[in-house]
Amino acid sequence: MTDEQARVLARGGNIAVTWLDGRAFPGIHVQGDTFAGLCRQIAEAASRLRHTGGDSEASDDLGYAVEEMAGMVRFYESALAERDIRRPYHHDDAG
């Protein structure tokens, strides 16, 4: 283990925008249980869709997970904008 430093730019719910020393851009820190839950939800929904092709519950689960992740991206972008930090990617608003 190393004693690396990270600046916390913003905290909200189970996520934080952090900037690790030596990195060009900030990142998103997600609590492990939150991230594991999203991964499980996406994997289970994808599996059901592969096997059934039209599972509305799976579609709802995927929609929820995508919205959770989109909220994280919005939080990240807001934290960067408040500090005049450019995003490390071009974001189109189509997604």
pLDDT tens, 45-69?
Answer: 888 888 887 778 878 888 888 889 9
Instruction: Pick the closest to residue 12 from 63, 77, 66, 72 (CA basis).
Output: 72
Backbone angles phi, psi at 8, to 5 degrees: -95, 115
Cα separation, 56 vs 89, in Å, equals 32
**Average pLDDT over the chain, rounded to an integer:** 88
Taking 90 as the threshold, does the pLDDT of residue 79 lie above it?
A: yes
The H or E element spanning position 7 is strand 6-12
Q: List, in sequence order, every residue forming a beta bridge with 28; answer none if it has no partner.
A: 17
Looking up tokens 């609590």 gives 31
As a whole number, mean pLDDT of residues 17-34 equals 95
Number of domain units in the chain: 1
Host domain of residue 75: 6-82
Domain membership flag for residue 90? no
Domain membership flag for residue 88? no
